[in-house]
Structures are given as structure tokens and as C-alpha cells.
A and B are shown apart, each in its own frame.
Chain A
Amino acid sequence: MTTTFDVTRYQDKGTIQKLLHNTKTIAIVGLSSNVLRASYFVGAYLQSHGYRIIPVNPRESEVLGEASYETLMDVPVEVDMVNVFRAPAALPAIAEEAVAIKASSLWCQFTVINENGALIGEKGGLSVIMDRCVKVEHARYIGRMHWLGFNTNRITSVREGLQ
């Protein structure tokens, strides 16, 4: 549809797992305060699993108890991951800001596919994930997605901690 390049380059399972474990602060670009929006579901989920959420949305003043900023450049704390819920065309500018604030990763949600944006992030030294949902991947590798019959693609005979 919108993609003419191999987006699977930006869906590496090892990178995804490393980011889920190493990330502490996530700036969510396009986070909405509407409790029925996908971004709100993801933000609430990530917050309840211990990540610090920073809303970046000029239309919001506060979401999930956190002050919202107009742009990534306005965020006053160190950001590990920039998580994008915006139209694909907005991605290159967001990627440039993510590089400028020295974030370590750029995570683009389902359908946020833009090759140029991915290349800007990559050249700036960021790990880039594209067309994947951070909530789903967390639930797949760390959380409880298997409780609802979803295919986690995980096979393990190792006993893990309580969920």
C-alpha cells in the first residue's frame, strides 16, 4: 500500500527486545487524551508497566498525568525512545528532532511507514522500529498477550517469572 521498501528491516526481533528492556523514558508523539484512541491505550499500558511517559502533542496540555509538550525539542528531560503516532508524512521532521535530542531509538507504530524518516533516524545513530506496536511487542515478550490467544511467536521451555 504505502510502502515500497522492505519495512521488515526495521522489525528485528532482537532489537525490539533490547529496546523493551533498556528503555526507561518514552516520548509519545501524537499521544491523545481521548481514552478510546490507540495512543491512549498504548500510553496507559506503558505507564502501568513502569515506563515514564512524556506526551508530545500541541493540542494537549496534560495526558495520563504528565505535562504535554509542543515538540520533542521542548521536552526538558532525557528521552530514550521516541514513539510516533502520526501520519507517515510527518515522520522525517520528527526523526530529525529525535536525532537532535539524542534519543536512542525511534519507534513508529502500525502504518507509520516512511523510508526517509527511518533513514534519518538510522543515520543519526538511533535504533529504528517501524510498523510495529510497542504495546503489542511488550505484551508479546514480557507481558500477557498469550492470555488472549494471540500468536506471540515465542517458543520457550525456560521457566520465567510471575506475570
Chain B
Amino acid sequence: MSKLDKSRDFGFDTRQVHAGARPDPNTGARAVPIFQTTSFVFEDSESAASYFDLKEYGNTYSRIMNPTVAAFEERIASLEGGCGAVGFASGIAAQAAALFTMLDPGDHVVSSTAIYGGTINQFKHQFHKMSVEVSWVDPDNLDAWRQAIQDNTKLFYGETIGNPTSNVLDIEAIAVLAHEHDIPLMIDNTFASPYLCRPIEWGADIVVHSATKFIGGHGTSIGGVVVDSGEFNWSNGKFPVIAEPSPAYHGLAFHDTFGMYGYLMKLRSETLRDLGAAMSPLNAFLFLQGMETLSIRMDRHVANAKAVAEYLDQHDLVSKVMYPSLEGSKYNVLANKYLPKGAGAVFTFDLEGGRQAGQDFISGLTLWSHLANVGDTKSLVIHPASTTHRQLSDEELVAAGIGQGTIRLSVGIEQIDDLIWDLDQGFLELQSKDNK
């Protein structure tokens, strides 16, 4: 009944274990070796020259490429359905490099407002210094995206699940709009991971991640990655920075020469080379270990998140729960479309009682870790108004979708009744302080 077939398309769970990680041809090592080396010896001067000319795929220097990092890159590219990927020292570095590669001074970006605060800072301040301006739009309003388009608009940017208000982005509709105007769509898919949503399948052109979060899962390593679908036509006249001969690489026209791989070749051989935020081989190795269990972890993350959200939704001291998979959520329809397995495991809820209530609640927790990260196997909690967003005025907090009593959770993979027991302890602490 079966026939000889050497070209099988393997499933997600197989690829998360295998993609990018073939046995080491030198030693037979089955695990990906940690190539902890700065540089690589050339066979001869001819091959050295062909590596630097990009005529042959070769290793030169670990700021630009490294075999352990490459295994990580190929694995995430496979899971996202991209043509390739480039790893970086952090998610924020990955995103900066992704934009830097495609933009010129005077260009314009349209971005969702419901995104990570670090990204807002990067766009608002760092890219402003490079004369790139950003228009901020309500991600839920397609007309707002359309109206923000200018002649010099070169990019649409948003997050699959917005931070911190858990907006679910209508990726397909926004991608169609972007492509009608020859503009690429870049999506930060950190909160979903490629297991819950693959933006490229909905038309996104570039996907970025903070690998620090669910990709690794263990909270040991900082890293980021840029994945390219390979589908965007950079030679449409809007992107001379990619299509025209590059003075930074002896006149090479990246899109013409490398076709669908042109953007990533430029990202690696120019932007990474010149900005230098390379991922370390050890971190790539740790991310590879994490990715082997991505689907299994994410199934538990979303099951726990849904149970916690339902528990909070019923609680008298909670005024609002912002979890898109809840039936009452305004994002429920989009969540069912883009995130049918579950809308991630990071969300916020609002306590009755404001800022003091938020601090008291957290002080009653002993299992949930009070820290500023998300996407760990351990459950994490933070009170934005008194920590990450404490410099903001009340009005600015409201604009950011954060109330005085807002708590952000990153639900881990521990036993669910233990997580709920600890939240109960927090509510008891809150009641004992009688803040109401």
C-alpha cells in the first residue's frame, strides 16, 4: 500500500525536533554540536574569496553565521513556513535589523498601537533618529491602516496577539491591504509561537520573534529571529535599498541575484555584519532544546491559560479578563480563526480596587514569579502600573490599555490546581488588607 517516496512533507511535531539538525557529518553526533568558535579555517584562498563574494555557502566568522545558530534558524524557518531565517542577540535586535534592511531615511511605517513597549520605544526614538517616521493605528480598524498609507510607506507592522491588551490582529485582511499598495507586512509572532499561529500562511511577509519567550521556553537565554516568507516582490520599485546594486556589497543587487533569498542574504551579509547583534552559539543550542517540545508545551500553556482565565472571569474581585479565547471577548471570532488551538498564555485582568490592590494581590503569591518576562514554563505575574509602566501618567496608562488594577499573567505549564490555589492566596491577601 505504501510506495517509495523520498520527498515526504513532515509534520510540525517532527520538524520541531528535526528541522535544521541533521547528524554531524564529521563525528556522527546526533545532537546539534555547539560550535563555540569565532571563526572558521578556509580550505584555500579561492574558497575564502568565494565565501566573501557570496558565491558559495561557507562559514567565515560567527558574527555573520555559525553552524549551531544556522540549525536554530532553519528550524524556526521550517516551523513558520518561511524560506529562511536569521538569528539575533535579542528580539529587539532582530526587529531593528529587519527594518534597517528594508528602509531608507525618509521612509514611513504604519504600526499597530497594541504592541510591546520596547518596540514602541525603538520605533519612536531610534528609528526617528534615522528619519523614519511611524504612524500609529488602532489595529482593529482596517480603515485606520488604509488612511495611514502615504507615498513613502514601506511597511505595515503588528503583533499576532497584542501586548498587553491581547488584541488579535486580522492578519489576512491587513496583508491584503498592504499588498494592494506593494507594502510588506511584518508580524511579531512572539506571543503565539508558530505552533498556535503561522502568520505567513495568512499572507504576512516577514515574521519576527523574541526567541527568549515560548521558542526557548526555559527563560535561560535572550535571542531573536527574523523569518522571511520569500514571497514579497522587492523589485516592485519601492525598495531600491534591496533591489538596486548595493554600495555596501560591491554593487551586488540582492533581489536580482538571490531571488526569494535576497532579503535574508542582505539582512545577514550587510545588516548583521554591520550592526553586529549576533546570536551566541550556546543560546542557539538552548533554543534548539526548547523548540523540541514547543507543541507539547504550548498545548499545556493554553489549556492552563484558558482554565485560569475562566477562573478569574468568575471571581468577584475581578472586573475584566482580557483573554481572546473567552467567549465574551471581542476578539473571540478572530481568535477562533487565527488561534484555534488557543490564544496564547499571556493576558491581563483588572482587579477591583486599583493600584494598591494590584500590589497587595501580587504580594500574596508564592508560586507565580513576580518578574518582567513572559513565555516561561514557570508562571509569571507583574503589576504594570507599579513596575514596567510606573512612569506613565493615569491618562497614558489608559491609552496603553492598562488600568491601575491591571495584572498581567504569563501562564506556565505547572499543575493547574496549584496555579489556581496560589491565585486564591493572592485574593485572600488582598481581602485581608481590606482595600475595597
Could you tell me which A residues sit within 8 Å of B by CB distance?
A: 12-14, 17, 35-38, 41, 44-45, 48, 110-111, 133, 136, 139, 143-163
- Chain A CB within 8 A of B117 CB: no
In the complex, the answer to whether B23 meets A41 with C-beta atoms within 8 Å is no
Q: Is the CB of A110 within 8 A of B260?
A: yes
Contacts of A110 in B (CB 8 A): 259-260
Q: Which of A149, A152, A161 contacts B268 (CB 8 A)?
A: A149
A-B contact pairs, 10 of them (CB 8 A): A17-B6, A37-B256, A110-B260, A145-B57, A147-B58, A147-B70, A149-B86, A150-B83, A155-B19, A157-B18
- What is the bound-complex CA distance between A136 and B22, given in angstroms? 18
- Chain B, Cβ-Cβ closest to A162: B25
Q: Does B69 interact with chain A (Cβ within 8 Å)?
A: yes
Residue of A at shortest CB range from B255? A38
- Chain B residues within 8 Å of chain A by Cβ, number: 55
Q: Is the CB of A150 within 8 A of B264?
A: yes
CA of A144 to CA of B65 in the docked complex: distance in angstroms?
Answer: 12
Q: Considering only CB atoms, which chain B residue lies closest to A14 in the complex?
A: B7
The answer on a CB contact under 8 Å between A158 and B23 is yes
- Shortest Cβ-Cβ A-B pairs, 9 listed: A149-B73, A150-B84, A13-B7, A151-B77, A144-B57, A110-B259, A159-B23, A38-B257, A155-B18
Q: Are B22 and A147 in contact (CB under 8 A)?
A: no
- A143 vs B50: C-alpha distance when bound (angstroms): 14
B258 within 8 A of A: yes
**Are the CB atoms of B28 and A159 closer together than 8 Å?**
yes
Specify which chain A residues have a CB less than 8 angstroms from the CB of B260 in the assembled complex: 110
B18 touches A37 (CB 8 A): no
State the CA gap A155–B17 with chains docked (Å).
10
Q: With the chains together, A139 CA to B59 CA distance in Å?
A: 14
What's the Cα separation between A147 and B74 when bound, in Å?
A: 9
Q: Is B48 an interface residue (CB 8 A)?
A: no
Residue of A nearest to B261 (CB): A150
Contact digits for B53-89, partner A, Cβ 8 Å, 1 yes 0 no: 1111111000001010111111001100011111100
> Given the complex, which residues of B lie within 8 Å of A153, measured CB to CB?
9, 78
In the bound complex, CA of A156 to CA of B82 (Å) = 19
Q: Are B259 and A149 in contact (CB under 8 A)?
A: no
Among B14, B250, B252, B264, the residue within 8 A (CB) of A149 is: B264
Q: B70, A146: Cβ atoms under 8 Å?
A: yes
Q: How far is the CB of B162 from chain A (nearest CB, A)?
A: 28
What's the Cα separation between A149 and B230 when bound, in Å?
13
Complex contacts, A146 vs chain B, CB 8 Å: 20, 22, 70-71, 74
Nearest Cβ in chain A — how far from B387, in angstroms?
36
